[in-house]
Amino acid sequence: MRLTDAVLVTAPLKKFTNYKNPGYKYKVVRIPALKDEVRVRKEQPKAGACVNEMSSMMDCWKRTDFSQAACDAEAQAFLKCIAIAEAEKKEALVRASKGLPAKGSNMRPSKQVNEMLAKFPQPPTNLL
pLDDT along the chain (128 residues), means of 10: 58 68 71 82 76 94 91 94 93 83 81 88 74
Q: What is the pLDDT of residue 82?
A: 95
Please enumerate in sequence order all residues whose Cβ is within 8 A of that of 125, keeping only pairs 6 or more positions apart, or say none.
Answer: 31, 33
Q: What is the pLDDT of residue 51?
A: 93
Assessment of whether the complete model's pTM goes beyond 0.85: no
The CA angle 102-103-108, to the nearest 5 degrees, is: 30
Q: What is the pLDDT of residue 63?
A: 93
* Distance in angstroms between the alpha carbons of the first and the last residue of the chain: 59
Q: What is the pLDDT of residue 24?
A: 67
Q: What is the pLDDT of residue 7?
A: 57
Burial of 46 (0-12, 13-18, 19+ CB in 10 A): exposed
The torsion defined by the Cα of 67, 72, 73 and 78, in degrees rounded to 10, comes to 90
What are the boundaries of each domain within the chain?
48-122
CA distances from 47 to 25, 74, 75, 83, 105 (A): 49, 21, 20, 16, 18
